[in-house]
Amino acid sequence: MSLLVKTVGDLFQEKPGQWGLRGDPYLWQEMIDQFANTPLPPNKAELEQLLTQTFETLTGQPLTAEKFIPVERFPRGGMSGGFVSPAFWRETAVPLLLSRFSEIA
């Protein structure tokens, strides 16, 4: 990442190239807001734990969930509107954020 990274929220500056479901960009933005003032943890394992816990706090479901997660506060437009894909977060978003952390650590 070319931008200066001081907080966990800074890791979210560049969006992924593709989303899982329509609710995922809204969760991404909530994560940015949630972590705006959170200092970077000392290691990758703690960052992964922080991301996993926050995912569950914001969606009400664990990252290990198999089904799409409806999030009432997200817009409902389109077939997947208001839904978050835990698979996208497990397989794409969290690994992307951990990779960005590794680049700067």
Instruction: Render pLDDT for 9-58 as a digit per residue (tens, 0 to 9).
Output: 999 999 999 999 999 999 999 999 999 999 999 999 999 999 999 999 99
Residue 2 falls inside a structural domain: no
The pLDDT of residue 105? 77
Q: Which domain holds residue 88?
A: 32-104
Instruction: Tell me the C-alpha distance between 80 and 83, whole Å.
Output: 6
Per-residue pLDDT reduced to its tens digit, 46-91: 999 999 999 999 999 999 999 999 999 998 888 788 999 999 999 9
Domain count, the chain: 1
The pLDDT of residue 3? 59
Instruction: Tell me the C-alpha distance between 89 and 21, whole Å.
Output: 10
Residue 64 falls inside a structural domain: yes
Residue 61 falls inside a structural domain: yes
Residue 62 falls inside a structural domain: yes
Instruction: Tell me the C-alpha distance between 89 and 31, whole Å.
Output: 12
pLDDT band at 1 (very low <50, low <70, confident <90, very high): very low
Report the largest interatomic distance among the alpha carbons of the chain, rounded to a whole angstrom.
40
Residues in the chain: 105
